[in-house]
């Protein structure tokens, strides 16, 4: 549907479609190497620059990883790191004011609350060792605020990963990237970083405790309040310029 190859299939789009078709047929799988740019160029009858534009798109979208040189690890290799593409998308859309920050925060609230509740309800108790390790790291008193925030983001991401839902994990990584700039700016709005970080640490522990206690309702509430509270504290003006 839509304006993909409707009337004027551009050269790079045909390359993209060719690769997508091969992926769908299973002739290309994660770990495989794409043909060389020159080979693809002659094979599809387009210029090498058009092939490169398609390759570039795939790379930004997190589908492939390119590597110069020679050998088995060189070339364009199919990986699947959706988080990268999602991050680029969210970051740029926020920059272009296509995504209001408030909407991103709301989406985070929805997804993270759901994740926390699901983790608490999960029948085989989820593996939270990664989250625990991050919480321990955040207890270090010598952390710079930026380092703390990075660990904080990793903690939330670890919860998503523990839920096993890769779509949510990638989306949350992207959401985080989209508002990272604002989070760093908001740092300056905090009057007492020491108190704030201490509160965040306590809230984090509380979230994990609620999950371990299989108290889904509490886990949802705690993470919801945790996120909304933090943004209420840092964003002086949460009602930023809306969409155009």
Partner DNA sequence: TCCGTCTCTGTGGTCTGACCACACGTGCTA
Partner DNA sequence: TAGCACGTGTGGTCAGACCACAGAGACGGA
Length of the chain: 244
* 84 forms part of the interface with DNA (CB under 7 A): no
| Spatial separation of the C-alpha atoms in residues 20 and 153, rounded to whole Å | 32
Please identify, among the stretches 34-42, 133-141, 163-171, 205-213, the one whose residues bind a copy of itself according to the rule CB under 8 A: 163-171
Two tokens, residue 145: 């605020």
In the block, residue with structure tokens 């740029």: 92
As measured in angstroms, the least distance from the Cβ of 186 to a copy of itself is 15
* 72 forms part of the interface with DNA (CB under 7 A): yes
Pick between residue 44 and residue 105 the one whose CB is nearest to DNA.
44
Nearest Cα residue to 225 out of 236, 215, 237, 217: 217
Q: Which does 122 bind (CB under 5 to 8 A by kind): DNA, a copy of itself, none?
A: none
Residues of span 69-128 touching a copy of itself by CB under 8 A: 78, 80-82, 84-89, 91-93, 95-100, 103-104, 106-107, 110-111, 114
Question: DSSP assignment of 62-77, as one string?
Answer: TSEEEE-SSSTT-EEE
Question: DSSP assignment of 152-212, as one string?
Answer: HHHHHHHHHHHHT-HHHHHHHHHHHHHHHHHHHHHHTT-S-HHHHHHHHHHHHHHHHHHHH
| Spatial separation of the C-alpha atoms in residues 155 and 133, rounded to whole Å | 9
* 75 forms part of the interface with DNA (CB under 7 A): yes
Please identify, among the stretches 63-71, 121-129, 211-219, 226-234, the one whose residues bind DNA according to the rule CB under 7 A: 63-71
Residues of span 174-193 touching a copy of itself by CB under 8 A: 175, 180-181
| Spatial separation of the C-alpha atoms in residues 111 and 109, rounded to whole Å | 6
Q: Which does 67 bind (CB under 5 to 8 A by kind): a copy of itself, DNA, none?
A: DNA
Quick check: 216 and 207 in contact, CB under 8 A? Answer: no
Nearest Cα residue to 115 out of 229, 232, 225, 211: 211
* 151 forms part of the interface with a copy of itself (CB under 8 A): no
| Spatial separation of the C-alpha atoms in residues 100 and 132, rounded to whole Å | 32
Residues of span 36-55 touching a copy of itself by CB under 8 A: 49, 52-53
* 41 forms part of the interface with DNA (CB under 7 A): yes
List contacts with a copy of itself (CB under 8 A).
1-2, 12, 20, 23-24, 28-30, 49, 52-53, 56-58, 60-63, 78, 80-82, 84-89, 91-93, 95-100, 103-104, 106-107, 110-111, 114, 150, 164-168, 170-171, 175, 180-181, 243-244
């Amino acid at each position: 549907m839509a304006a993909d190859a409707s009337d004027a299939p551009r050269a790079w789009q045909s390359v993209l479609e060719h690769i997508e078709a091969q992926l769908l047929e299973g002739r290309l799988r994660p770990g495989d190497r794409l043909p060389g740019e020159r080979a693809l160029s002659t094979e599809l009858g387009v210029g090498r620059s058009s092939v490169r534009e398609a390759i570039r798109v795939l790379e930004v979208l997190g589908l492939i990883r390119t590597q110069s040189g020679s050998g088995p690890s060189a070339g364009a290799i199919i990986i699947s790191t959706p988080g990268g593409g999602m991050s680029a998308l969210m970051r740029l859309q926020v920059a272009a004011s296509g995504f209001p920050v408030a909407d991103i925060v709301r989406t985070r609230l929805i997804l993270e609350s759901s994740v926390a509740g699901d983790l608490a309800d999960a029948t085989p108790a989820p593996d939270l060792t990664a989250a625990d390790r991050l919480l321990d790291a955040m207890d270090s008193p010598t952390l710079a605020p930026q380092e703390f925030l990075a660990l904080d983001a990793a903690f939330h991401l670890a919860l998503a990963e523990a839920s096993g839902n890769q779509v949510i994990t990638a989306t949350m990584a992207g959401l985080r990237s989209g508002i990272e700039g604002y989070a760093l700016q908001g740092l300056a709005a905090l009057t007492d970083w020491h108190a704030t970080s201490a509160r965040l640490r306590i809230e984090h522990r509380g979230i994990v405790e609620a999950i371990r206690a299989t108290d889904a309702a509490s886990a949802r509430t705690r993470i919801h309040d945790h996120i909304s509270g933090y943004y209420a504290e840092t964003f002086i003006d949460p009602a930023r310029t809306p969409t155009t």
